A and B are shown apart, each in its own frame.
Chain A
Amino acid sequence: MTLPQPQRMSAANLYLPKQVRIRRIIRETHDVRTFQLEFVNPADGAAFSYNVGQFGEFSLFGVGESTFNISSSPTWKGYFECCFRDVGLVTSQLAKLKEGDILGFRGPYGNWYDLDKLKGKDLVFAAGGIGFPPVRCLIWNVLHEREKYGSIVVVHGARTSGDLVYQRELAEWSKRPDMHVVKTVDPGGEPEDWDGETGFVPTVLEERVPWILEREGKGVENALAFTCGPPVMINFVIKSLTRMGFGLEQIHLTLENKMKCAVGKCGRCNIGNTYVCLEGPIFTAAQVAEMPKDA
């Protein structure tokens, strides 16, 4: 008798990326870019699908991987998007790429929004700076079947007017009669001809949203809120929403922990016993309230 024979590799290498080509680069701000991506190998593209709110690992070979939300709506076919700010080792190199250049991609990973639970609800989106993409994908997905949802209010803020991302989309949405868009900049960040609000996202949210909903004959009972942004902003957004009458269960947020593997192995992304890559990145404020201050 010999030792039992090893079985063949049963699982594919978890960490081997697929290749995607940058089909278009959109300069959202001086340091924020959107990449529209398509799979180099059509078979990879055909096999790829994702749900709204999920994320991926994007790699530049020779530099490394970065974790970004998939910022497009799953209803868009033929390509998907990511959006990033040029701040770190990998992103500063990504920022130098040109259309046609090739990246590695692993994903999709993480949980997503269950649209069935959003139908018939009034939706409030509050995003700060580069926290907009994880919210923007959901907005577009919802707009795909606009009639299935109640009121839609979007509050987007940044340090200065030049730091607001997706400006052309904000302009497009502002013209729509079936949604409300509020853009704001931190005090001091407004140019001479500024046509938006001045104030921090949590403050503007609390000033404007109850009034907008009231005008439509709505309260907050039937509303859901979605937020993403710097940790400090998120904390204040939750406080504002709570004062407006939102329950913690009605508030959803995308956590942006540092990640490497995205599959619960590398030990990087935990907040207490919660592995954000496995159980998140989307949590309700009620879930986050139970987590230790470890993020």
Chain B
Amino acid sequence: MSVRGYIRPERLWQMVDRLSTAGLRVVAPTTVDGLCQFGVVTAANQVVTDYLLPQNTFKEFLFPKQEQVFTYLRNGDGSYLLTEPRRAFPETVVLGARPCDTVGIMGSLAAVFGGDKWGYEDPLFTERRRVTTVVSFSCDRPDISCFCTTQGLGPDDPKGSDVLITRTEGDAPVCVVEVFSARGEALLDHLGDLVAADRDASGLALARKQAGALARERFVRVFDISQVKTFLDNPGNFDDEMFERLGTKCVSCGVCTFECPTCHCFDFQDVGAPGSGERIKIWDSCQLPDFTLHASGHQPRKTSWERYRNRFLCKFKIYEDAFEALGCTGCGRCVRDCPVHVDITSYAMQANKKQQLVQIGA
């Protein structure tokens, strides 16, 4: 059994102090630029404890918004000195991740940046991943935009987590600690007596299960996606009317992609003069107009709805076909934060419905 004990709710965030003292970098929900975001913290009092999902995901700690790939310096003979920065990836613990983000980052992003399927491993991601331990907290209060259960996950899904902490319901709640990996085991040693083990593990396991089940019942954005992939697998449906109808209002701001745990697009940019400077790897977005613009002027995706069609396909088909990973974990960020209410779940619902109608021969 994965249950190792429990932490008293009022002591939960003391984990920050313990881990920080042990020399680990701790990433947790905190206030950055006035918003609740994942950031580096060193003490429990820096943490925002009342949160559902921080504005950002913690992907930027494995796939930074921008980072140097190398610097170049032209030598006297015209050749260049190419230097990689000294990269010291600190041992990092993400505290309070949500299961949707954990699956998206430790599962899906890892499938893209890892070399398993296609043989190219991006060590800028995989090396960070090797030193990252994820402690997820199960959700007990999903909001109206959350739909992880529809995506085959759940508020207490342990996939990708090294440790999962679930708060039980009732008068005297406790935070049940479950461990799922060697990294998780090692982390427990740092937590010491914070994790009490004076209760029967099977009783804790039961209470934790009940809490998860109760949280599942609180989801309202629940719908059938069983036919969506079939719909998208039919190349003829690429030209379905729904894409233009639902996506024309998109203003191509890119918010949905930057906030998404599974979006992995990036660009390279050279910053500096011809003789010296750096090449950076920097987040990019398939929603931006010049993303696929060719030097010749050829533009495969001219309109915002064509670009959002690509995003929808990426989440519900391409990720699975190309990387055998989940494209959308149902975190709901792109639903919550799109300034013009483009809603990926309405795409999924309509695709599903259209395919169902085909199935019954309507």
Contacts and interface: CB of A to CB of B under 8 A. Distances in A.
Interface in B105-145: 112-113, 115, 118, 120-124, 126-127, 130-131, 133
Interface stretch (B36-44, B68-76, B337-345): B68-76
Nearest to B300: A295
Interface string A262-281: 01111110111101001000
A4 B133 CA distance: 10
A9 B89 CA distance: 10
B274 A265 contact: no
Given A9-B127, A290-B235, A291-B235, A62 B89 contact: no
A62 B124 contact: no
A219 interface: no
B79 A19 contact: yes
B70 A266 contact: no
Nearest to A6: B131
Interface stretch (B183-191, B201-209, B347-355): B183-191
Interface in B60-112: 69-70, 72, 74, 78-80, 82, 84, 87, 89, 91, 112
A150 to B, nearest CB: 34
B89 to A, nearest CB: 7
B127 A6 contact: yes
A263 B323 CA distance: 13
B72 A265 contact: no
Interface string A55-66: 000011111111
Contacts of B291: 258, 268
Contact of A273 (B84, B281, B317): B317
A90 to B, nearest CB: 8
A267 B182 contact: no
Interface in B219-260: 235, 238-239
Contacts of B78: 100-102
Contacts of A267: 263-266, 284, 286, 314
Interface string B10-43: 0000000000000010000000000000000000
A273 B321 CA distance: 7
Nearest to A88: B295
A40 B82 CA distance: 13
Interface in A233-256: 256
B322 A275 contact: yes
B298 interface: yes
Q: What class of interface size applies to chain B in its complex with A?
A: 35 or more
Contact of A13 (B79, B84, B264): B84
A42 interface: no
Interface string B271-305: 01111010101001010000111111010110000
A11 B313 contact: no
Contact of A7 (B80, B91, B130, B318): B130
B238 A87 contact: no
A37 B130 CA distance: 38
Contacts of A121: none
Nearest to A264: B118
Q: What class of interface size applies to chain A in its complex with B?
A: 35 or more
A187 interface: no
Contacts of A3: 24, 91, 133, 183, 186-187
B169 interface: no
B310 interface: yes
Nearest to A292: B238
A15 B235 contact: no
B123 A11 contact: yes
A109 to B, nearest CB: 9
A62 B314 CA distance: 32
Contacts of B182: 4
Interface in A60-76: 60-66
A293 B306 CA distance: 10
Contacts of A43: none
A273 B123 contact: no
B284 A266 contact: yes
Contacts of B185: 1
A11 B266 CA distance: 20
B189 to A, nearest CB: 5
A172 B279 CA distance: 42
B269 interface: yes
25 contacts: A4-B182, A4-B186, A10-B126, A13-B69, A13-B70, A14-B123, A15-B279, A16-B82, A17-B82, A21-B79, A59-B270, A61-B274, A62-B274, A87-B295, A88-B295, A102-B80, A104-B82, A257-B300, A268-B291, A268-B292, A270-B314, A272-B317, A273-B321, A293-B238, A295-B300
Interface of B: 24, 69-70, 72, 74, 78-80, 82, 84, 87, 89, 91, 112-113, 115, 118, 120-124, 126-127, 130-131, 133, 182-183, 185-187, 189, 235, 238-239, 263-270, 272-275, 277, 279, 281, 284, 286, 291-296, 298, 300-301, 310, 313-314, 317-318, 321-322
Given A6-B131, A104-B80, 16 more contacts: A9-B123, A10-B121, A10-B126, A15-B268, A61-B72, A88-B295, A257-B292, A260-B266, A263-B118, A265-B113, A266-B264, A266-B267, A267-B286, A270-B314, A278-B118, A291-B235
Interface pairs A-B: 10 shortest CB-CB: A88-B295, A267-B265, A292-B238, A263-B120, A273-B321, A62-B274, A61-B72, A11-B121, A3-B186, A273-B318
